[in-house]
Structure 1
């Protein structure tokens, strides 16, 4: 199984430790993770603000960056939703990436069958389901599991 990390531009620029933690988690679960250096922004900011022409090169670059991978895992529901729900409007090549893109928790639960990652935090926390994860991806209980 060939797995790639799609770290996303926001994670890369603002929360780089998220990508590192994602790789550590997946490797601890026995998954060998590649990081294609050619990846960039998925194009969601441009797409959401009506700049379709500016989105297209980013879509093409993303598709090329993840060619040949069985699964593309991202710790971002927003980017996963962009690929799965909007890439088809950019043609068949772009649409072909959609079924291989997984938000991290759905990859853990649906592909790996993992609901216990061995994590422990002795305090109460609040979980806020993201809009894209909840509405566009239908993650449901996966993040809590």
Structure 2
């Protein structure tokens, strides 16, 4: 099966290991993976900020780059939600482009949903010696209906124990530009999320959206927690992460602090 990987801006700039982990997962499941080098942004930041012209231009570009593939896989609920749900609306008054957008939307899947709903994987290459708690991102949960898929995959990881946190489905406070425009509110939401995930007493918090994870990690470190690891589900399923706790926590904290500076 020939599939394309949409990397996402945050994965490309902040944690490329998520992209490589996604490729490993897809190839282990028998897919031929291609990563078009010309891809850029899905247009979600422009769309959310009301810049219709930029959002449409980026949607046209993305559609043209990916419409030839059997499937488009995205390790981000936010980007997948944009392509699946927003693209057809962007071209409501442009029938030819709306048709192209709808065809791509029907073949676009968030990573965990693709692994479960399309590939029906019964094993993953990764291992994890410890416990994790899972954060449901707003876009994946509410825009795409993804909840059970991620947990089903985590249950297939040898050595991993899932510990549910209270209010796992509540927002982390990131929301893209929301965390910049409403820093105080975002910080309060993030603090509540971090309190809840620490109540789970897990070794790591796992999620499917890197924006959420960077926001959570930044807040955790500000609250003095330098133990809890913050990992993308692709990294856990593929086993692509550092084995020592101290290393990745120390290294990722600097990036997360910068990403979370405004929300505080």
**Both proteins in one fold, TM over 0.5:** yes
Alpha-carbon offset, residue 90 of structure 1: 2.7
- Is the CA contact 2:46–2:55 (under 8 Å) kept in the aligned structure 1? yes
Q: Distance in 2 between matches of 1:132 and 1:25?
A: 22
Instruction: Tell me the residue number matched to 2:32.
Output: 32
Aligned-residue CA RMSD (Å): 1.1
Instruction: Tell me the residue number matched to 2:260.
Output: none
Task: Calculate the TM-score normalised by the size of structure 2.
Answer: 0.53
- Is the CA contact 1:9–1:40 (under 8 Å) kept in the aligned structure 2? yes
Instruction: Tell me the residue number matched to 2:7.
Output: 7
Task: Calculate the TM-score normalised by the size of structure 1.
Answer: 0.95
- Kindly report which structure 2 residues correspond to 1:1-145, keeping only aligned pairs within 5 A, or say none: 1-91=1-91, 92=98, 93-145=100-152
- Is the CA contact 2:73–2:109 (under 8 Å) kept in the aligned structure 1? yes
Larger Rg: 2
Give the total of aligned pairs. 145
- Is the CA contact 1:77–1:132 (under 8 Å) kept in the aligned structure 2? yes
- Is the CA contact 2:28–2:125 (under 8 Å) kept in the aligned structure 1? no
Higher relative contact order (CA 8 A, sep 6+): 1
Extract unaligned runs of 5+ from structure 2: 92-97, 153-264
Instruction: Tell me the residue number matched to 2:163.
Output: none
Alpha-carbon offset, residue 118 of structure 1: 3.8
